[in-house]
Amino acid sequence: MSKHSHWAKIKRKKEVADKERGQMFSKVLRMISVAAKRGGDPETNASLRLAIEKAREFNMPKETIERAVKKGSGGLEGGILEEVLYEAYGPGKIAILIESITDNKNRAFNEIKKILERYNGKLVTPGSVKWMFERKGCLTADCKPSTRAKLGAGLVPHRNEVSGAGLQIEDFKNKEKLELMAIEAGAEDIRWSNDVLEIYTKVEDLENVKRNLED
């Protein structure tokens, strides 16, 4: 009985992990397709390059990535994906910007509205809260003593959605030196959160700053 119970737990954990992996695959593929609408060459399309790096973090097959790029750039037929920005207030009148990628704007609107209402939030008219936000590039360097610094790239306020591939920085033990490296690379602002260094840049400077640190 105990062996059966143990196997059942393992099976459930695997099913949950597989489901989460599938959801992440779907999310990243949508990101790739939408980014590819601005151009299918990752060398000249920073958003596409970041999305592809994210896909590689999850060991997504090369063929799957290429298919998503072709779909977004018009090389394959399929549902048209669109980016939609929603503005909302959450619990306690917290201002929220919600970025959605969808092939059905009406469905996305209704689903987001239901989620907000469940937590006493509501959608608001365009322009109501967007003025409170400023889009920035963000590089995060994990500088825990047990590891070499790993740098990820993305855009705030949703930097965790498009984190970049790991970049190794050998001399991370000297925090002041790492801060100086970031400033010299073109950072606008730097902040520490425990052992994680957050490096903020202008959106258009994100890739250049990352390359400068990599070099």
Q: What is the pLDDT of residues 106-144, one digit of tens each?
A: 999 999 999 999 999 999 999 999 999 988 888 887 776
Q: Please tell me whether residue 169 adopts helix, strand or coil conformation.
A: strand
Q: How far apart are CA 31 and CA 52, in angstroms?
A: 9
CB 73 within 8 A of CB 40: yes
Q: Find tokens 């957050």 and name the residue.
A: 198
Look up the pTM and report it.
0.60
CB 172 within 8 A of CB 180: no
Q: How far apart are CA 158 and CA 137, in angstroms?
A: 10
Residue range 153-191, pLDDT digits in tens: 554 443 333 333 344 444 455 677 778 888 888 888 888
Domains of the chain are 2-72 (1.10.10.200), 82-132 (3.30.70.980), 136-214 (3.30.70.980)
Provide the pLDDT for residue 166. Answer: 40
Q: Give how far the C-alpha of residue 128 lies from the chain's centroid of Cα atoms, to the nearest Å.
A: 24
Helix (H) or strand (E) holding 196: strand 196-201
Q: How far apart are CA 98 and CA 183, in angstroms?
A: 31
Is it the case that residue 1 has pLDDT exceeding 80?
A: no
CB 89 within 8 A of CB 122: yes
